[in-house]
Amino acid sequence: MSASTDRKPPRIGEQPAFRRALIATVLVVTAFFIVAPLIVIGMEAFSQGWAVYAAAISDADTRHAIMLTVVTALIAVPVNTAFGVAAAWAITKFDFWGRRLLLVVIEIPFSISPIVAGVAYLFVYGLQGLFGPLLQAHDIKILFALPGIVLASMFVTAPFVARELIPLMQAQGRDLEEAATSLGASGWRTFFSVTLPNIRWALLYGVVLCNARVMGEFGAVSVVSGNIRGQTNTMPLHIELLYHDYQTAGAFAVASILAVLAVVTLVAKVLLERQGAGRGGRHPALATPQPAMTAPKLATEKST
C-alpha cells in the first residue's frame, strides 16, 4: 500500500472534487445504513434508564435465554469445528472420487433459507416426519428441545470452519505432512505439530464466525424450538417475544448483548485478518469451492 505512493501512475477518479464527493456520499450512507442501526440499539435499550435495562437483563426468562444460547454454542461450535477440520483434512490431503460434490454439499447450508432448514428438520424429527413416531414411542425429545436447537444451529453453520480451512490447506499442499509421516510421526502427531500451527489463525477465524452465527441464528431455530418461554427460547427468539409483547426496551436490552457480541466478533475478525486469516472469507468470489477444483496439481507444483 505504502509502496505505491512513491510513484503514482495516473488513475481515474483522482480529481479532488470527485474524490471528496464520493467519499462523503459513501460515509453518509454508511452512517445511516450501518452505524445508525447499531446506535439505535443502544439508545432504545437505555431509553427507560439503567434500572429498566438491568431489570430486563436480570429477568429470569432472559437469563435462561442467555444460558440456552451459550449452551447451544458450547455444543454446536466444537462439534462443527471438529467436522470442519476433518472435512478439510479429507478434502485437501487426499484425492478421491466425488470430492467436488462433497465440497458443494458442505456449502449448501450457506445458500438455503434458514426457514427451509427449520422445516426440513421438522420433517425428520417432528411428528409428521420420518423418525417422529419412532422418537415419540421411545419418549425421546429432539424438536422443541435443546437437541433440535443444536441440530438446526449445526446445519446453518456447517460450512463455516471448513470453508476457511480448505482454501488455506489446499494452498499449503501436502509436502510438510508427508515429510513428517515419512520421518515416522503418527497421523495425530503430524496434525498437531505440523498442520495445526499453520492453520491455527484460519481455524480460530472460522470458529469466531461460526460462534457468532450460532448465537444469533433466528429463522431455523425459531421453527424447531417451539418458542417455549423460559425453556426453549434462545436470545434471538427471546428478543422477538419481548418485542411482540411491546416490551421494546427489554427487547433492545437483550439485543444490545448480541450487538456487543457482533462488535467483539468484528474486532476479533480484524485482528485475525492481520495474522493472515480469512483470505478465503474476504475473497468469496475466488475462494469458495474453486481452489479445490484447480488443485491439487497446482498446490504441489507451487510448493516444489
Partner 1 sequence: MKRRVLPGLHLTLGLTLLYVSIIVVLPLGALVYKAASLGFVDYWRIVSSGRSVASYRVTVLCALGATAFNLIFGVALAWVLVRYRFPGRRFVDALVDLPFALPTAVAGIALTALFAPNGWFGAYLAGIGVQVAYTPLGIMVAMAFTSLPFIVRTVQPVLEDLDPALEEAAQSLGGSDSIIFRKVVLPLLTPALLAGVSLAFARSLGEFGAIIFIAGNQPFQTEITALLTFIRLEEYDYQAAAAVASVLLITAFVMLAVTNLLQARALRYTQRA
Q: Report yes or no: 208 and 265 within 8 Å, Cβ to Cβ.
A: yes
The dihedral built from the CA positions of residue 181, 185, 191 and 195, taken in this order, carries a sign that is negative
Closest contact distance (angstroms) between CB of 66 and partner 1 is 13
Q: Report yes or no: 281 and 164 within 8 Å, Cβ to Cβ.
A: yes
Q: Which residues contact 82 (CB under 8 A, 6 or more apart)?
A: none
Angle at CA 279, nearest 5°, toward 274 and 284? 140
| Residue 243 contacts partner 1 per CB under 8 A | yes
Q: Which is nearer to partner 1, 149 or 258 (CB)?
A: 258
> Of the candidates 17, 111, 137, 304, which one interacts with partner 1 according to CB under 8 A?
111
Q: Which is nearer to partner 1, 181 or 231 (CB)?
A: 181
Report the site for partner 1 in 196-235 (rule: CB under 8 A): 209, 212, 215-219, 222-223, 235
> Of the candidates 48, 198, 231, 265, which one interacts with partner 1 according to CB under 8 A?
265
| Residue 106 contacts partner 1 per CB under 8 A | yes
Q: For residue 38, give the amino acid letter.
A: L
> Of the candidates 55, 75, 116, 145, which one interacts with partner 1 according to CB under 8 A?
116
Q: Which residues of 59-90 are buried (b: 16+ CB within 10 A; e: fewer)?
A: bebbebbbebbeebbebbbeebbebbbebbbe
How far, in Å, CA of 159 to CA of 83, rounded?
9
Report the site for partner 1 in 21-40 (rule: CB under 8 A): 22-23, 25-27, 29-30, 32-38, 40
3-state secondary structure 37-85: HHHHHHHHHCCCHHHHHHHHHHCHHHHHHHHHHHHHHHHHHHHHHHHHH
Report the site for partner 1 in 59-98 (rule: CB under 8 A): 82-83, 86-87, 89-91, 93-94, 96
> Of the candidates 165, 204, 255, 299, which one interacts with partner 1 according to CB under 8 A?
255
Applying CB under 8 A, which part among 55-63, 136-144, 196-204, 287-295 lies near partner 1?
287-295
Q: Which is nearer to partner 1, 196 or 266 (CB)?
A: 266
Distances (CA, A) of 89 to 96, 98, 199: 12, 15, 11
Closest contact distance (angstroms) between CB of 187 and partner 1 is 4
Helices (H) and strands (E) in the chain, counts: 19, 0
Size of the site for partner 1 (CB under 8 A): 111
Applying CB under 8 A, which part among 4-12, 50-58, 139-147, 165-173 lies near partner 1?
4-12
How far, in Å, CA of 196 to CA of 167, rounded?
15
Report the site for partner 1 in 141-200 (rule: CB under 8 A): 151, 154-155, 158, 174, 177-178, 181-182, 186-187, 190-191
> Of the candidates 148, 236, 280, 296, which one interacts with partner 1 according to CB under 8 A?
236
Q: At what angle do helices 60-93 and 49-58 cross, to 10 degrees?
A: 60
> Of the candidates 28, 270, 276, 301, which one interacts with partner 1 according to CB under 8 A?
270
Closest contact distance (angstroms) between CB of 231 and partner 1 is 18
How far, in Å, CA of 226 to CA of 127, rounded?
13
| Residue 123 contacts partner 1 per CB under 8 A | yes
